[in-house]
Amino acid sequence: MAGASTIRLESQRPRKATSDPLAIKMVLTTVTFLFFALFLFLPLVVVFQEAFEKGVGVFLATFRDPFTLHAIGLTLLIAGIAVPMNTAFGLAAAWSVTRYRFPGRSFLITLIDLPLWVSPVIGGLIYVLVFGAQGWLGPWLREHDIRIIFAVPGMVLATLFVTFPFVARGLIPLMQAQGMKEEEAALTLGANGWQIFWRITLPKIKWGLLYGVILCNARAMGEFGAVSVVSGHIRGQTNTMPLHIEILYNEYQVAAAFAVASLLALLALLTLLIKSYAEWRAEQQLKNIP
Amino acid sequence: MKKHVIPGFGLTLGTTLIYLSLVVLIPLSALCQRTLSGGWEHFWETITAPRVVASYWVSFGISFLAAATNGVFGVIAAWVLVRYRFPGRRILDAMVDLPFALPTAVAGIALTALYAPNDWIGALFQPYGIRIAFTQIGIYIALTFIGLPFVVRTVQPIIEDLSADVEEAAACLGANRWQTFWRVIFPALLPSILTGITLSYGRAVGEFGSVVFIAGNLPFKTEITPLLIISKLEQYDYSGAAALGFVMLVASLLILFVSNGLQAWNNKRRGIA
């Protein structure tokens, strides 16, 4: 009987002007759950289900294959080069557009954003046009026996292009919101530029920086389109994990393809976890600014 | 008088400009130069070939449908995530960014496995003769997945910022919930909804990885423009690939331009200069 009386009390209390009727709440929440289940949860479940479809043995055997191991190594190598470079660049870019006012500033911000909106295929194509056999530097490179396209350097360049905006984008709104009163105070107390950066700015932006770096890393390890164009797909030489997935899948080694995919899916989940945490910490930090 | 108080102007702006030029601007100018050097006639012939025009319909048309879908469901999801409290809300909220974090190739094979005729969801539709994977419906699903975060993430902060007063005032003046939504809340959200739709459209137009697996890649039917660029490259038709790349680049710039304009409108509404 207690249940019945609480329901009555509930319905007698006037609804707040900002809240929706219960029926609407139920419908909208259900729609959201269904939409997310269909587009987000199911694809994720499928990856792990298919990875273990043929049993744990097949799953583990995939990771004993030298080509898979090489693909994992190459992915780590490319991300290991691209992420630190784009982090350094992102810091410089965010510093320059949030600390100073100069003509063309907002145009520069748009240019920094550009690679996010250009097709990743174009990210590969442009390097083929510069370094490829018929490209600008093609003949010169051939004379000196340097390979960039269909080799690792080209894949690093393509990855640099597509992951280039992430760190700067994470930092610019944060640094704009934080302002630079502390930095100016430090300056009047005699600190130089590097001291200001290491002791004042970096602690202020560390969570925003982590947020950008983790997204940059996820994209660097998972990039497919741009890297595919410049890779040449040579197994054991220019094959990253996403490209290896494609080869395995096209060879009907579905369980193996999903086994490699499950590793990248785990990376994505880890990325989301760290990202949510960093986002939350960055918000806390912003709130603490008087 | 020194123009800039904080030191490091030359160093940081210099680094930014050099790096930007090397990684983005010079390679992109190679694309433009290559397009122009092929001659106008060749350019026009390449970009208006029937197979290419068919791919525009697939890329730009289906992207539009996917972005519109995200416009509807993204607003609902943003509303539910901000306004309602229910178990699992934080997990749902974190999951919104999955399409950013999940490599496109992984999304591609996962969606294909879900919607292929004999698997999971595909098997449900099979008896009715509806094929999803390897048709345009499959492309639509992949592009909806890829664009999902944009509407939610642009509309969410605007809903958070809505002040309760206006809704309370509307209710005091006798508006019912539906009227309050249409006349008060929706107009306030509209700029951000349009921004989100444009961003998700921009992302979908260029998408490659998640689409190629599920599309089936039949010429004239399920072939997207980025795939045509790759097949031209594989035939060593550099200027043809450059011409198509140029078209895609201009389209992306237009979309970016529109979204920047919408964002400025949005910020003006929120009172951020």
**Which residues of B are less than 8 Å from A41 in CB distance?**
95
Closest CA to B31 of B254, B235, B253, B247: B247
Nearest to A268 among B19, B83, B98 (CB): B98
* pLDDT recorded at residue A4: 47
Nearest to B7 among A161, A192, A275 (CB): A192
Is there a contact between B12 and A19 if contact means CB atoms under 8 Å apart? no
Q: Taking 90 as the threshold, does the pLDDT of residue B249 lie above it?
A: yes
Is there a contact between A92 and B5 if contact means CB atoms under 8 Å apart? no
* pLDDT recorded at residue A280: 86
- Please give the Cα distance from B101 to A271 (Å, whole number): 7
Is there a contact between A43 and B9 if contact means CB atoms under 8 Å apart? no
Give the DSSP letter of residue A25. H
Q: Is A53 exposed, middle or buried (0-12, 13-18, 19+ CB in 10 A)?
A: middle
Compute the average pLDDT of residues A228-254.
87
- B positions 43-72 inside 8 Å of A (CB): none
B178 Cβ neighbours under 8 A, 6+ residues apart: none
C-alpha pair distances (Å), A65 with each of A74, A245, B174: 14, 13, 70
Q: What is the mean pLDDT of chain B?
A: 87
B182 Cβ neighbours under 8 A, 6+ residues apart: none
* pLDDT recorded at residue A2: 45
Closest CA to B213 of A161, A236, A54, A258: A258
B259 Cβ neighbours under 8 A, 6+ residues apart: B195, B198, B199, B202
Q: Taking 50 as the threshold, does the pLDDT of residue A5 lie above it?
A: no
The vertex-B249 CA angle with B244 and B253, nearest 5°, equals 150
**Which residues of A are less than 8 Å from B148 in CB distance?**
39-40
Compute the average pLDDT of residues A117-140.
87
Q: CA torsion sign, A22 to A23 to A24 to A25?
A: positive
* pLDDT recorded at residue A218: 93
* pLDDT recorded at residue A11: 53
- Please give the Cα distance from A2 to A33 (Å, whole number): 30
- Please give the Cα distance from B195 to B189 (Å, whole number): 10
C-alpha pair distances (Å), B175 with each of B6, B121, B180, B182, B184: 53, 43, 6, 10, 10
Q: Which residue of B has its CA nearest to A122?
A: B245
Instruction: Inform me whether the C-beta atom of residue B218 falls under 8 Å from chain A C-beta atoms.
Output: no
Is there a contact between B103 and A264 if contact means CB atoms under 8 Å apart? yes
Q: Taking 80 as the threshold, does the pLDDT of residue B206 lie above it?
A: yes
Q: Taking 90 as the threshold, does the pLDDT of residue A217 lie above it?
A: yes
What is the percent of chain A with per-residue pLDDT over 90, rounded to a whole number? 40
What is the percent of chain B with per-residue pLDDT over 90, rounded to a whole number? 36
* pLDDT recorded at residue B236: 85
Compute the average pLDDT of residues B209-230.
87
Q: Taking 50 as the threshold, does the pLDDT of residue A1 lie above it?
A: no
Is there a contact between B230 and A121 if contact means CB atoms under 8 Å apart? yes
Compute the average pLDDT of residues A9-24.
70
Closest CA to B158 of B266, B46, B250: B266
Could you please report the per-residue DSSP string of B152-218?
HHHHHHHHHH--HHHHHHHHHTT--HHHIIIIIIHHHHHHHHHHHHHHHHHHHHH--HHHHHHH---
- Please give the Cα distance from B220 to A259 (Å, whole number): 34
A74: pLDDT confidence band, cut at 50, 70 and 90?
A: very high
Helices (H) and strands (E) in chain A, counts: 16, 0
Q: Taking 90 as the threshold, does the pLDDT of residue B151 lie above it?
A: yes
Compute the average pLDDT of residues A8-26.
71
Q: Taking 90 as the threshold, does the pLDDT of residue A191 lie above it?
A: no
* pLDDT recorded at residue B63: 95
What pTM did the predictor assign?
0.89
* pLDDT recorded at residue B273: 42
Q: Taking 90 as the threshold, does the pLDDT of residue B238 lie above it?
A: no
Q: Taking 80 as the threshold, does the pLDDT of residue B150 lie above it?
A: yes
Residue B119, SS3? coil
* pLDDT recorded at residue A289: 63
Do the beta carbons of residue A209 and residue A197 sit within 8 Å?
A: no
Do the beta carbons of residue B57 and residue B224 sit within 8 Å?
A: no
Q: Taking 90 as the threshold, does the pLDDT of residue B152 lie above it?
A: yes
Is there a contact between A125 and B9 if contact means CB atoms under 8 Å apart? no
Report the 10 Å Cβ neighbour count for B212: 26
E-strand ranges in A158-276 read none
- Please give the Cα distance from B45 to A145 (Å, whole number): 36
Is there a contact between A264 and B114 if contact means CB atoms under 8 Å apart? no
B3: pLDDT confidence band, cut at 50, 70 and 90?
A: low
ipTM of the complex: 0.88
* pLDDT recorded at residue B179: 84
Q: Taking 60 as the threshold, does the pLDDT of residue A6 lie above it?
A: no
Is there a contact between A21 and B177 if contact means CB atoms under 8 Å apart? yes
Q: Which residue of B has its CA nearest to A246?
A: B105
Do the beta carbons of residue A228 and residue A124 sit within 8 Å?
A: yes
B1: pLDDT confidence band, cut at 50, 70 and 90?
A: very low
* pLDDT recorded at residue B164: 80
A93 vs B127, residue with greater confidence: A93
Give the DSSP letter of residue B7. S
- Please give the Cα distance from B212 to B139 (Å, whole number): 8
Is there a contact between A89 and B16 if contact means CB atoms under 8 Å apart? yes
Instruction: Inform me whether the C-beta atom of residue B101 falls under 8 Å from chain A C-beta atoms.
Output: yes
Nearest to A111 among B12, B24, B207 (CB): B24
**Which residues of A are less than 8 Å from B170 in CB distance?**
17
Give the DSSP letter of residue B127. G
Q: Taking 70 as the threshold, does the pLDDT of residue A7 lie above it?
A: no
- Please give the Cα distance from A222 to A155 (Å, whole number): 12
What is the percent of chain B with per-residue pLDDT over 70, rounded to a whole number? 97
Q: Taking 70 as the threshold, does the pLDDT of residue A281 lie above it?
A: yes
Is there a contact between B167 and A192 if contact means CB atoms under 8 Å apart? no
Compute the average pLDDT of residues B172-185.
84
A150: pLDDT confidence band, cut at 50, 70 and 90?
A: confident
Nearest to A257 among B4, B109, B141 (CB): B109
